[in-house]
Structures are given as structure tokens and as C-alpha cells.
Structure 1
Amino acid sequence: MAERDRAPSSRVDVCVVGAGPAGAIVAARLAEAGHDVVVLDAGPRFDLEDRERQLDAHLRPGVESAGNRSAAGDGLWGMGGDRDAYTSSGDRHYPLNAARVKGLGGSTLHWQAMVMRLHERDFEMDSRHGVGVDWPIDYADLRPYYTEAERELGVAGADDNPFAPPREEPFPLPAFPPSHSDSIFAEACERLGLPTHSVPNARNSEPNDGASACVGYGTCKPVCPSGAKYTAERHVARAEAAGARVIDRAPVQRLAHDADAVDAAVYATPDGAEHRQEARAVVLACGGVENVRLLLLSASDAYPDGLANSSGLVGRYFMDHCFAGVGGRIDRPTRQNHVGFNTTECHALYDAEDPLPGVKLEFLNYAGPSPVIDALHADEWGDDLLDSLRDSYGTHLAVGGLVEQFPHADNRITLDRSTTDDHGNPVPDVEWSVGTETRRAIERANEVQRAILEELDADIDWVVGPDETGPAFHHMGTTRMGTDPESSVVASDCRAHDLDNLWIAGSSVFPTAGGMNPTLTIAALSCRLADRLDRWL
């Protein structure tokens, strides 16, 4: 294939850095509004035709996907090596590359696509509970953009959640039906007074927008071969159809600027050259870690502590969601692993009157071993293999949960100047710990999860509690929004306080994390940002 033209365009209206959901949505909406847009992304274009070969490589490690780096030894999506180097110096090691993807589509290439709205309380944690901070916007401000975001992502759902915030119209697509194991959990939860309800999913429950309905591969993470699951590639394609130029393998090295505005994004290309993409406005949309890194790498005489960092808060208040879970076995068929995503959850623990972090319970459709993967990797054959699979498969159940982290200034992203990437730039360092309030919330989640399994007479064989918890890889809070330039990085419209033409998209602007998967809120904020930037232009 001929080498792509990666030379810069003449000065454009908008340069978007990053082609994940935030950047792709902003680029598509601005291009469709008639603006001249260039998108720069550090990673490659992944071939949509290669997804089935990627699935084969996932099920049978060592099988390479012809012509595509994505199935090489550094993972299905090519993460690893000097390009993606990082360090972790916090109380707990943070495995940053376990869920990042650099490339068109970003982490939506391998996400599970669960998309919930934040609750009203999430925007008012200080006012309601005296913890964290309030957002400079409330749920009512974002409510119409949540509706737009659900349309943009093609969300399948039902208005059956008694705890959900108010909504104004039905979901774009009907909800997925409860799984067999969901029905088992529903019996126990009803007896315990824990209402269950459907999970909004950004995947097609019926054919939509030229893509098929979900056909049940069950491998949503790490790869959906059918195309039924939303990836930001859809918005990349929309942006290009509207005239935007999308340049892959073009990692931005720094933002050139004066004291008042950003002049250009300086990016590298595979041939070793550096280029300047000049623009009237720049939108940073490369995630809660790389947004910070790029701002800090852009330090200058005007901004010696990093661009847009007069508050000193760029990189501070890094948040994630922590996992809590309990699993076991029961003496009846559960049909585990028939569905690769969650279809039932419970928000009953979320809006408690006490100031504990929010907890969202998830009833896992993929508990226990996968019979396909077990069979492919087994040393046994024939009847012996069949007996082993019968013993290990079909009776597992598990209840998981996302647990909110409150913002703490000591959880942060900085530059590790002792370690450099493939361009000689300092790599990001992650300082991450789990606070006492999050530990208490995890313990509360475990108590309820254990009660559900005990109600089913399950033999509990594993518990993930506060000492074993890990991150959900939802990077939030490192360029928080607010009204005061001394205590925030961007204003309520996501424009940097310090520079007139720099905008930041994505979950790095979240002042608090809530306990809901962040992508729908990312999409809603991106729709809102695009509207404001359209008017500014």
C-alpha cells in the first residue's frame, strides 16, 4: 500500500489531537458544521477486515494476523515497547498499558461498551456530602447532550432503572434481553430487596447505521469481529466523509504557543521528520494521561510549569474506578460466557445518604473459564477433555462492581525524566493509591455481593476486596473543569483558563469520577464542546 501523505495542511480551523471517542466525535461534528479540521493520532489505522484474524490470535496466541501489527507479540492492538513506555511510582503499581490503545478508535477498539449516565448526585458531591468538589455544570446542563450522545453511540437500553436520573426520550435501540444467569441473580436480588435492571450498551441489539446486530462472538474485549459494537472509527469515518483530514502515526511532540494562544501542534512522522500543523483552535483529546503529558512537554518561558498549568493542577486528581467482586459455583447450570458483556446491573447502592463513594453492581455474564479457550490450551483430548470441561464450565457465577474514587491531589500524572520514549521524550509516571473511603466502599460492595451469592447457596471461591482491587482503566480528572482558574484547568466549556484557543476533551476534565463507566459522559461533553467551539469559530 502506498505511504500516506502526512505533511501538514495549511492553517486549519481546528486541529484535534487524538482519535478516540472524544476527539472523533468533536472532529465529526465540527467537520459536518463546515469547519476545516485535521486530526492527529499517535497510532495506526487498524484494518476493519482484520478483526476475525485478531479474534483467532486472541483465542490461539502466537497466530499472527497477516499484515497487521495488532496481533504481534505486544498484544492485539500493538501496545508496548519504547513508544508506550511509562513508570508507576505510587503506592500501587498502575498497569497503564493493560487497557490503552493508540490508534484510530482508541480504547473503544477493545472496550466492553457499557454506557450509563452519571447520576445527579455526581455533579454535586461537595454540596450534598461535603466530599470532593461540585462540577461547574449540573445534570440538567448535560441532560440534552446525554440524549445526543446516546444517538451518536447507538445505545441499546430500556427505561427500567428505578435509580437512574430523568431522561427525555427512549434509547435509540431496544435493550438486550437478560441472560440466563441474570435470571438466577434476579431471584436472589428480589428476595434481598435489590432491584435489578438492564444495562445500556453501545452495541447494536438490531441492525443499525449499516452495521449488523450483535451476533454473539462473546469476545467484546478484546475484539468485536462483527462491527456491532461501537468504536470511534465510526466517527473517524464520518469526519473524513465531511472533509476532515485524519493523519495516523503522527504523535504530537508539543504544542507551539505564545503567552495567549496555541499556534500549532508539532508532530512526528514515521520517516523521522517533524511538522507543524497550524490551527485557529486546538482540541486535546488523547486521554487522561497523554493530555497531561503533552501539556507538560509543552513547557516554555511563558509557561515554565507546563502549558495551561498556572493553577499547578495539570496531572493532579487522577481518578479511576476500582473493582470489587465475589464469585463462586452453584449446583445448577449458569451458561456462563454465552454473552461477552453485561446485560443486568443494580444501582441500589449508588445514591446512599452517607458520603461513601458510589458503587455500581454488575452481574457478570463471563464468570469462570471460557470452554473455547480452555479447550484450545488443554493438554487433554477426547473424553478426558470433555470430562474436564464439564467439571470446570457451566456452574460459575460472579457479581462485580465499579467503585468510585474521590479526587485526591496526591494521585497524579507527572513526567519521569529518567525514562524516555522512542522520540526521546520523558514518559508518563502514574502515582496511584486507593483511599480509605474507597476501601470502605469496596468492603460494603463485598458484603452485598457475598449476601447475593449466599442467597443462592453458592460455594464462594474468590473475593476481590480492597487489598486485591485493581483499576478499571478509566483515566479521569487530570485537567479538571471549574469556575476558578486557581483550582481548575479548564472552564465549564472545556476551554483552558490560560489560553484562548486551547480546548480539552475527554474524561480528564471530570472534577469527580462517579461510579459509572465514563464514555457516555465523555461523548456528551464532546458534543457540548463541539457546539461551543463551533460558535467560537
Structure 2
Amino acid sequence: MSHNYQRFFARQAGSAPAPSAPAGISLGYPVPGPQNTDVNEMAAKAFFASSAQWAQIQQQAFDFIVIGTGPTGVAFIEQALRNKPQARILVLERGGFVLPVHYQMLPVAFQAFTGSPPTTYPWTRSTRMSSTGPAFFQAGYIPILGGRSTYWSAWSPSPTPDLMRDWPQELVQVTLKPGFWERARGFLQVTSMDRIDDGVYGNLQAQLGCRLKDNFKRFVPSAQNAYPAPIAVANPDWQTVKFYKYSTVGTLLALQARQSSLAAQGQGAALPIVDHCIVERLLHDEQGTVTALLTSRGPLAVASAKVILAMGTIPPATLLMNSFGPRLPKAGQRYTGHFMSHVTARVRRSAFKNVAPLELGALYLDGKDAQGQQYHVQVSAFASTDAARDLSTIAHEAPDAAAVATPQQLQSSEDHIVFVCATLGEVSEKNADNWIRLDDGPDPTSNITLQLGLSEADQRLWDTLDEATYQTLDALVSSDGVTPTVEYWIEDGASAGSWSALRPPQSQIRLNIIVHEASPLWMGADPADSVVGLDYRPHGVSNVYLTGGAILPTSGSWNPTLTLCGLAQDLADRLS
């Protein structure tokens, strides 16, 4: 037996029995032992605090208690430990371990996980929201380790100051600090799609990038910027830049392993993670200092720790409104986000030169309407001469898993380039009819009602962004003054399931979903006109700090995760 195998089995022999094994049974002696394996037990043993360890945690002191394991929570943890490996951080996660990586990186069968089972909706929509106009519904939450990062689209643009409309100048200045964007991009592993070199992104991506750069000002009058899509798909451990969509799970568990090693050497603190731990309420004294967390696993004393809410957008609003009530009178008075249109189109391959049998592309364009409200267009391009052969590769490397050409569209377009455009527009924060309020539900984690609709200004923006989508397609396919015929996929009516030179009806392309929700706990210097101060701390609360979309003063139209991770890293710098 080789020395490597000897060391491996020696480690196995020295390890504790599986959680289900009776005492005294090890490695099949004196009896075979349990004949079952449970993935939850395996993950718990490897990564999460046991019941006995939880009892010990309740007696320990921490510097930070981080609630949530999505991008902003892990960005905070990584930066805090980078600054001080000795920092004592406790991580609380309401879910458990499900996926080790982004689901696009797994076998295609795992795409069944994108259905409703992993998604929760911890709120009630108002009657008006659920029945008026587009009857919007709010995109749900995924309560597992890593949260939405295991499913997200990963588009990660860097907004310029002019896109941070009506933000406090002090907050804008944070984003202008040297290295702010570089550090955030490094954390999320963001790369421009024209740098991917894996045989799938290549010549088509380059041609699309050149055409958009040359044409967008002329074809899309409302556009401001256009460039190859920046997406979180790099991998710093690889010698080449290939497509590997990012999730926080690997980063967090790698940090835990590193801290365990440092702790064993006396050079750092361990990083305990408690799974299936729902924080229901923050107990506080008259001065607004949180003294304890009420959780589904029992109470947890805060002592001198700082509590970091990295729970997304609506859950921290729910928690703070339940916990502090009148102390935070402005909480929930803003509710913004992004509405969306989807357009699928195609042109013949002959409109481009030397496109390989299988190629993909991803482009990004942003703009403003006449009133200054923002939109952006995310373009995914698909070229496949054999759709049946290429479906698995496309599923793994599609820029946006929620905006992929269907097998039917691809199989009818093997001599075409298919474009799927997802165009997002910002919901104005000026609409007083949009809000988040406590209701009389019995569960303190979901006793919240949402209401969001579109103002007249939002409706005008939607008209602009729809037209900008069609203009962007013309900019992408035009060359040397020639614009080839663009065909559109029709889903409704007598022509359903076919391509047409006529644009699809508005009812087809406009979706009734709100994504990138934001602003219920918006930041500002004045407690009379904001909920969270410029130090990331709710006004009138002394030891709680916020990350995530809840703190954005306005939503813009840009995908917010990169910006929010940069702000979480800034918070870590301030506190550590």
C-alpha cells in the first residue's frame, strides 16, 4: 500500500465515528455498524456546529456575529479576516448545505433545482400588488448555504457616480476610494467576457463587442455605455481564464478551513458556522443596544459583539421592524427594485464572419430615458449548428441561466445566431404607494406585507427600455452600413412557437417579476430622511450594521451585487 493511501486510511481510522454510529463501533469492529449515509450528517460533521458545539458557542464571546452567507456576508467575513485573522466571527445561516458550487457548474440534471422547491416567499403581497397592473410578484429567497449566489446570473457591472442617483455624496465617495472596485471584483471573480478563452467564447464575442462599441451611440440614442459583459466567472486557481460561475459556498468553507489551521497554530481564530439557525428577533435595551438574539436554536447573548445583518433586502427589514418598531419610523417606507422585459431574436450566421459551430457571447449596455431614470440591456448570444449536441455545454456556459435560448429556439436556428435580451429598468423611490409594512402574521420572520407598482414615470421608462432593446439588437447585427433582417420569437396567438419579422406583442415581452429589490432601510446622514446612517448602522441602534440591497438609497438599473460587496468590504475595514 502506498504511503499516500496509508496516510488517508490513518486519518479515517483516527476520525470520530459518524453521528449515527453507536459508541464503541469503529471501522467495522466488533460489528459492521450503521449501513446508512446521510448527506446532512456528513455536511454537519464537516462544516457546521453540532448541538454540543452550539451550547459552547452560547457561552463564548465574539467580535462579530454575521447573519447570512450570501455575497455581502462572505465579503464582510473575508475582508475582516484579511485585516485581522484573530477576529472572532460567528456565522449564522438559516438553511443548510445543498450545493457546493453554482448549479450551472453541476451536471445538467441539477437544473431541476431551479424550480419552486428551494425558493421561499417570506412575505404577503398586498391585494393591490397582486391584482393591479402587471400584478408583480417579488423574486423569492433561497434559504440555503450561499443563498442566491448558488443560482444568480452573476452580471457584475461597476456603476459610475452619475448612476448613483440621489445617493449621499459621502457614500459615493466610498466607491471612489482607490482599489474599491478592483477589490470587489477580485472577491466575486468578475471578468470581462471578451477575456474568456475556453473555445466557446471567442470570435463571435469579439465581433459583437466591436459592433456594439461602434454602433450603439448611433442606434440607441438613450444609451450611455456599452461593453463586453462583466460576469463573475473567473477562477483564481486556474492558469487560464475559463467559465466558472461564482458562488460563495467555496469561499466561505475555504475561509473556515484556513481559520481552523491558523487557530491550531495560535495565529488566528476559528470560524464556526451554525446552520438551520433562524434569527427571529433582536432583544435590546432602552438605548438601542442589542443584548441577545432569539433564534430557532435558542437564545444567543451578544455581549460586545457587533451584529452584521447580511440577509438580503427584505429579511433584515422584517427583523429590524419587528425588533425595534417605533425606533425606526422610516423603515419600509421605500421599496424599489427592477422590472424587466425579455426579447428573443435571431439573424443568419452570414451576418458574421467565421463563427465556429458552437459559440456564445455576452454584452452589456446601459442608458437613461428623458427624465433621467435608468435601464440596462443584458444580451446573451447563442450560435449552434447542432443544438442537440451542444445543449449541455450551453446550459453550463450560458451567461444568464434565466435568459437562455430554449431547445426549440436553438434547433430551429442552426444556421442563425440567437439573441436573448433581458432589459432591466429601475423602480423610482419617489412612489409613496410602494412600501413594506408589518402585518399581524404569527411568524416574526414573515409577518410583512409588500406593495409595489409602477408610477407614470416608471411606465415611461419601460417604453424607453423596450425600444432600446430592439435598437441594441440592430446595433449588434449591423456592419458596414447594412442591417440584416432580424426575426423575433413569437409565443402567443396563431404564430406561437415560430419566428417572425414582426416584433412580439408587449404582453409577451414584459415580465411581472421584480428583481434586485432594494431600499427599505436606505442610507443617509439625516435620521429624519433615512433608516441607516453613513456608518452602516441604523439610526438609534448602537451595535447592528447592515449590508445588502436594503441600504441602497436608490436602485439604479445596474445589477447591485458587486457594489454591495464593495460596501461590505468597506464596512469590514471600518469595524476591524
TM-score computed with the length of structure 2 as normaliser: 0.69
2:228 alignment partner AA: S
Pairwise CA distance, 1:434: 1.9
CA contact (8 A) 1:367 1:398 kept: no
SS state at 1:486 partner: helix
Does 2:312 correspond to 1:262?
Answer: no
Does 2:429 correspond to 1:412?
Answer: no
1:73–1:402 distance in 2 versus 1, CA, 3 Å:
closer
Aligned to 1:490: 532
Pairwise CA distance, 1:518: 0.3
Pairwise CA distance, 1:277: 4.2
- The one-character-per-residue Cα deviations of 1:76-96 (angstroms, maximum 9, x if unpaired) are xx234xxx5432112454434
Aligned to 1:285: 310
- The one-character-per-residue Cα deviations of 1:343-368 (angstroms, maximum 9, x if unpaired) are 21223x24x7x433112222223699
Aligned to 1:362: 378
Pairwise CA distance, 1:259: 2.2
1:425–1:104 distance in 2 versus 1, CA, 3 Å:
closer
Aligned to 1:24: 74
Aligned to 1:137: 171
Pairwise CA distance, 1:136: 4.2
SS state at 1:12 partner: coil
Alignment of 1:167-182 (within 5 A): 180=204
- Unpaired runs of 5+ in structure 2? 1-17, 20-43, 220-224, 260-269, 393-406, 475-482, 491-503
Query: Which of 335, 352, 363 matches 1:318?
Result: 335
Alignment of 1:306-345 (within 5 A): 309=328, 312-332=329-349, 343-345=362-364
Aligned to 2:227: 197
- The one-character-per-residue Cα deviations of 1:186-231 (angstroms, maximum 9, x if unpaired) are 5477456257421212111xx513698545xxxxxxxxxxxx2221
Pairwise CA distance, 1:507: 1.5
Supply the distance in 2 between the matched residues of 1:437 and 1:337 (Cα, whole angstroms): 44
Name the one with the larger helix percent. Answer: 2
CA contact (8 A) 2:345 2:486 kept: yes
- The one-character-per-residue Cα deviations of 1:437-478 (angstroms, maximum 9, x if unpaired) are 222122112223223446432123455859934445212111
2:248 alignment partner AA: A
Does 2:123 correspond to 1:86?
Answer: yes
Pairwise CA distance, 1:54: 5.9
Does 2:412 correspond to 1:391?
Answer: yes
CA contact (8 A) 2:150 2:247 kept: yes
| Root-mean-square deviation (Å) | 3.9
SS state at 1:475 partner: strand
Pairwise CA distance, 1:394: 5.6
1:320–1:254 distance in 2 versus 1, CA, 3 Å:
same
- The one-character-per-residue Cα deviations of 1:317-375 (angstroms, maximum 9, x if unpaired) are 111112134333333379899678x621223x24x7x433112222223699x945999
Supply the distance in 1 between the matched residues of 2:470 and 2:317 (Cα, whole angstroms): 39
2:65 alignment partner AA: C
Query: Which of 451, 456, 476 matches 2:471?
Result: 451
Give me the identity figure in percent: 21
CA contact (8 A) 2:98 2:145 kept: yes
Aligned to 1:44: 96
Query: Which of 337, 347, 365 matches 1:346?
Result: 365
Query: Which of 161, 180, 183 matches 1:120?
Result: 161
1:406–1:51 distance in 2 versus 1, CA, 3 Å:
closer
CA contact (8 A) 2:312 2:550 kept: yes
TM-score computed with the length of structure 1 as normaliser: 0.74
Aligned to 1:5: 50
Pairwise CA distance, 1:239: 4.0
- The one-character-per-residue Cα deviations of 1:235-268 (angstroms, maximum 9, x if unpaired) are 4225423322111110101111112211122211
1:465–1:201 distance in 2 versus 1, CA, 3 Å:
same
- The one-character-per-residue Cα deviations of 1:17-40 (angstroms, maximum 9, x if unpaired) are 111111112122223412211111
SS state at 1:343 partner: strand
Query: Which of 295, 298, 303 matches 2:320?
Result: 295
Pairwise CA distance, 1:47: 4.4
1:46–1:406 distance in 2 versus 1, CA, 3 Å:
same
Query: Which of 137, 142, 166 matches 1:95?
Result: 137
Supply the distance in 2 between the matched residues of 1:73 and 1:324 (Cα, whole angstroms): 21
Supply the distance in 1 between the matched residues of 2:570 and 2:425 (Cα, whole angstroms): 27
Does 2:279 correspond to 1:252?
Answer: yes
1:443–1:338 distance in 2 versus 1, CA, 3 Å:
farther
2:146 alignment partner AA: G
Pairwise CA distance, 1:135: 5.3
Supply the distance in 2 between the matched residues of 1:344 and 1:282 (Cα, whole angstroms): 39
Q: How many residues align?
A: 457
Aligned to 2:253: 237
SS state at 2:378 partner: strand
Supply the distance in 1 between the matched residues of 2:451 and 2:511 (Cα, whole angstroms): 16
1:262–1:387 distance in 2 versus 1, CA, 3 Å:
closer
Greater CA deviation, 46-55 or 254-263? 46-55
SS state at 2:516 partner: coil
Pairwise CA distance, 1:498: 0.9
- Unpaired runs of 5+ in structure 1? 62-70, 127-132, 161-170, 216-227, 377-385
1:389–1:322 distance in 2 versus 1, CA, 3 Å:
closer
Query: Which of 6, 9, 15 matches 2:65?
Result: 15
